[in-house]
Amino acid sequence: MDKRTHIINTALNTFYQKGIHSVGINEILKLANVAKKTLYNHFVSKEELVCACLELRDQRFNEWLRNQIADCTTPQQVASALFSAIASWIDNKAPELGDFNGCFFINTAAEFPQSDHPIAMLCKAHKESVLQLLFDKLSHTEQLKGQLEKTIQLAQLLMTLKEGMICQARVTHSSNTLLQDPVLLRQLIASSL
């Protein structure tokens, strides 16, 4: 692994577990076992490092989620796979995402509340990319082909429920199996179609 990637991985893990503002560059240097000069050869500022971490997490999360819903052919299957995947992550059974500490993007956005800040904009872009991923998958199901409005509504509903599930788990430190109930999901999907 090259030094830049090593620094990003170290920073991402540390920022995700502790927050952005509570972690200083010296802590990243110590954990990554690199000199300050090495870090600043790759990143001109902590902000640039945070942006690199967000970009890597976006890539990892979206690839993971895409794989979780890859074989789904119905809206019901998409919803079921989505909520099962999130529950698995919450229960620390998604090693590619690390130990669960809520959503890195929600956590980071809370630390950078100005909507035009580059870090806040990356957080928003991540949420938009996840919504697009859900929309794309749903739009290829037989039940929703050619039904743009219904596909948009269901993608937004699933996204909202997913976000709520993650936030609730982060705050309560427990998983919630409500959205894994197949009867509830059938009713939810049926009412959206």
Let me know if residue 177 belongs to a domain: yes
Let me know if residue 153 belongs to a domain: yes
Let me know if residue 18 belongs to a domain: no
pLDDT value at position 173? Answer: 82
Record the tokens describing residue 79, joined without a space: 């919803």
How far lies 164's CA from each of 32, 80, 143, 145, 146, in Å?
A: 34, 16, 26, 27, 29
Residue 192 has pLDDT above 80, yes or no: no
Instruction: Give the best-scoring range by mean pLDDT among 54-63, 82-91, 167-176, 182-191.
Output: 54-63
Let me know if residue 5 belongs to a domain: no
Residue 38 CA to residue 17 CA, distance in Å, equals 24
Let me know if residue 28 belongs to a domain: no
Number of domains in the chain: 1
pLDDT tens per residue across span 96-139: 999 999 999 999 999 999 999 999 999 999 999 999 999 999 99
pLDDT value at position 184? Answer: 81
pLDDT value at position 152? Answer: 96
| 164: containing domain | 56-190
pLDDT value at position 128? Answer: 98
pLDDT tens per residue across span 28-67: 999 999 999 998 999 999 999 999 999 999 999 999 999 9
In this prediction, residues 68-73 reach a mean pLDDT of: 97
Tell me, what CATH number does 144's domain have?
1.10.357.10
